[in-house]
Chains A and B, each alone.
Chain A
Amino acid sequence: MKHLKLFAAVPVLFLLSFLLLAGCAADPEAAKDPGNGEPEETGTLVFTANGEAFVREGFLSKDGWSLTFDHAYITVSGVTAYQTEPPYDTEQGWDIDYQVKVELPGVYTVDLANPDADPAILKEEAAAPAGRYHALSWEMAQASEGPAKGYMLYLVGKAEKGSEVIQFVLRLEKEVAYIGGEYIGDERKGILAAGDSAEMEMTFHFDHLFGDGAADENDSLNREALGFDPLAALAVDGLVDVSLAELQDDLSAADYQLLVSILTHLAHVGEGHCLAKFLE
């Protein structure tokens, strides 16, 4: 009986210890204040978006269309960078346990086809806590003003194949939220030293939408891309100007579903994939 009481007391003891430790756990906001009266070490966090050379210089689609872009407007909101320990990994899902969070208030529309958008700068946050930012989240949201008003992605360009030329305007309104881990690329990003600056880049891979004629046709990228042929088939007098809602009626069910699914892997952090979910 004495042993049973002891056995029952153990979990109670553990529970009390757990609550005590949880109470002592670091407050995320506390990381912003060293607590020693000294000013916090900060740097400049530069939030950027990049459509890569695909939209700045044009590229060959998987089905042989030479694509060039006059505009590639994307609109983002809720942009947030996180310092996490342990480092965030998308396998953890949407719940992110952060120590430091830097939010970029507002909605930003940038034209990724602009030759100077290498990358396009959304905003520089001058007073960001120094440290290593392991995660980035944002939403592709409908623009409330400007040329892309009502759409989260607005592509204007020209497609050429042989003697055929098609002007296209592709307007996509379905909003998507993304979260990604650290930037993966030929350089490290998101490592902010005090008094220095670091980039947090949202990267958009338009070859996932149209495929890449430079890659093998059996490459998984091309197998999972829509290409341009389904849009070319909708052209009237050399012009296709459609929204996603209109494409739901005009495309085959399979092509429409493919296009919608592509929106969930259009955005990356460098070459690192993101989690994505549609906003309703």
Chain B
Amino acid sequence: MRNRLTIQEYSGWAGVAIAICLLHLLPAQAAAHGAALSYETVRGIEITALYDSGEPMTGAQVAVFAPDDPVEPWLTGTCDDSGKFFFTPDPDRPGLWEIQARLAGHGDLLRIEVTADSGISGGTTGFTALQKLVMAMAVIWGLTGTALFFSRRKN
């Protein structure tokens, strides 16, 4: 019982394999209904548009505005049946991205900060810079107090 193939047999099998591949390629060129799916993992933003009642804004018109052009939409589309819309912002255009969703006289605007390293920091909080500073100070104060408490116990 042989368990090795000769050079000639290799060549023969390779020829058969190439022929099969070509046979698969030919219909793809000839048929109009051919399709090819592929995927890549991307980081993006999914928004959900709901009415005040909680019902999804199915089919709502969405316009996405890049930070450097608040007038012309960077992307347009529609929400799905669940009121969701997904997009991946251009990481080369950092800043405040704006997403507007509208349907039948109802609409809202969402702002999302996108940083240069394509980190998405979430919707705007509404806090001013001064408020953020005071919060940061409070955190630092708390940490300082904790550190002093433990250092006192050591002494």
Interface residues of A (CB under 8 A from B): 3-4, 6-7, 10-11, 14, 17-18, 21-22, 25, 86-87, 89, 91-92, 97, 132, 181-182, 184-186, 188, 191, 205, 207, 215, 219-221, 270-273
Q: A184-B100, A272-B108 given as contacts; is B71 within 8 A of A191 (CB)?
A: yes
Contact with A along B121-132 (1 / 0, CB 8 A): 000101110100
Provide the bound-state CA to CA distance between A92 and B109, in Å.
14
Q: Kindly list chain B residues whose C-beta atoms are within 8 Å of the C-beta of A87.
A: 96, 111, 124
Interface residues of B in 97-111 (CB under 8 A from A): 100, 102, 104-109, 111
Known: A7-B145, A86-B124, A92-B126. 4 other contacts (CB 8 A): A86-B111, A89-B111, A184-B109, A186-B102
Provide the bound-state CA to CA distance between A137 and B96, in Å.
24
Provide the bound-state CA to CA distance between A94 and B75, in Å.
32
Instruction: Return B122 CB to nearest CB of chain A, in Å.
Output: 13
Closest 10 CB pairs of A and B: A271-B107, A184-B107, A14-B137, A3-B148, A92-B126, A7-B148, A220-B53, A188-B71, A271-B102, A10-B144
Residues A89 and B124 in contact, CB atoms below 8 Å apart: yes
Q: Does B2 count as interface, using CB distance less than 8 angstroms?
A: no
Q: Does B152 count as interface, using CB distance less than 8 angstroms?
A: yes
Provide the bound-state CA to CA distance between A191 and B68, in Å.
13
Nearest residue (CB) in B for A223 is B53
Offer 17 A-B interface pairs, CB within 8 angstroms, sorted by A.
A7-B144, A7-B148, A14-B140, A87-B111, A181-B109, A184-B100, A184-B109, A185-B107, A191-B70, A191-B71, A205-B105, A207-B105, A215-B104, A220-B51, A220-B55, A271-B107, A273-B108
